[in-house]
Amino acid sequence: MEKLGGPGAGLAIALENLFPPLPSEVILPLAGFTASQGRMDVVAAVAWTTAGSVVGALALYLLGAVFGRERLMAVAARLPLVKVADVERTEAWFLRHGTKAVFFGRFVPIFRSLISIPAGVERMRLPVFLTLTAVGSLIWNTAFISAGYALGARWHEVTDLVGLYSKVILGLVALVVVGFLALRVFRSGSGRRRGGNRPTERPTVTAESGGQSGGR
């Protein structure tokens, strides 16, 4: 960022969208600190990082669009403990709430990037997707760059605070996923036990059949 200025910050954020382990919670406050030292214009930092967010999100949107719904369903059908009906319900939910998911997803670690893929799979209108992504990213980036600018050399305090927020969010998501898998395994096991304990039907013996067997 010191060498490239705003474009360097934008490039870093674009890569963060494509590779979520790169934390924007570090990149953005550091960009604010760099601006506070006079090595970058703070407005340019916000503008370039927002542009980088949109470019990275657009790349993932196009990936989802190319992958497509049919391939998604085919992959879901092969995954253990995943039912196509679950994917279809998720798809229906996204069709109803996709705009809110794209906008508010910009404020959630990891999902900030991943939410672009289902938007592409469902072919959300591109102008709507880009607008929601740009506005959500502008809010997120401005908040963190401003915090880094204000704190100066103490910019890492923002990272520490948001790191805790990220851990809480990811912990809650992990609990939901584990609960879903445990419920699916339990239901699958219960279904097999019910099928195995089902009593064997015995043939009904009529008077006619009894007489025939007696004759034999």
Calculate mean pLDDT across residues 95-111.
83
Separation between Cα atoms, residue 39 and residue 128, nearest integer Å = 35
Residue type, 12: A
Res 54 pLDDT > 90: yes
Residues listed for the chain: 216
DSSP string, 30-41: HHHHHHHTTSS-
Between CA 73 and CA 36 the distance in angstroms is 49
Tell me the CA distances in angstroms from 114 to 61, 121, 187, 211, one per residue in order: 9, 12, 29, 73
Share above pLDDT 90 across residues of the chain, in percent, rounded to a whole number: 16
Reported as type and span, the H/E element at residue 10 is helix 6-18
Give the pLDDT confidence of 147-188 residue by residue, as tens digits.
888 887 777 776 666 666 666 666 776 776 677 567 666 666
**In the chain, domain spans:** 6-196
- Indicate whether 201 pLDDT > 60: no
CA distance 17 to 42: 21
Contact 141, 43 (CB under 8 A): no
pTM of the model: 0.69
- For residue 170, how many C-alpha atoms fall within 13 Å in the half-sphere facing its CB? 12
pLDDT at 19: 79
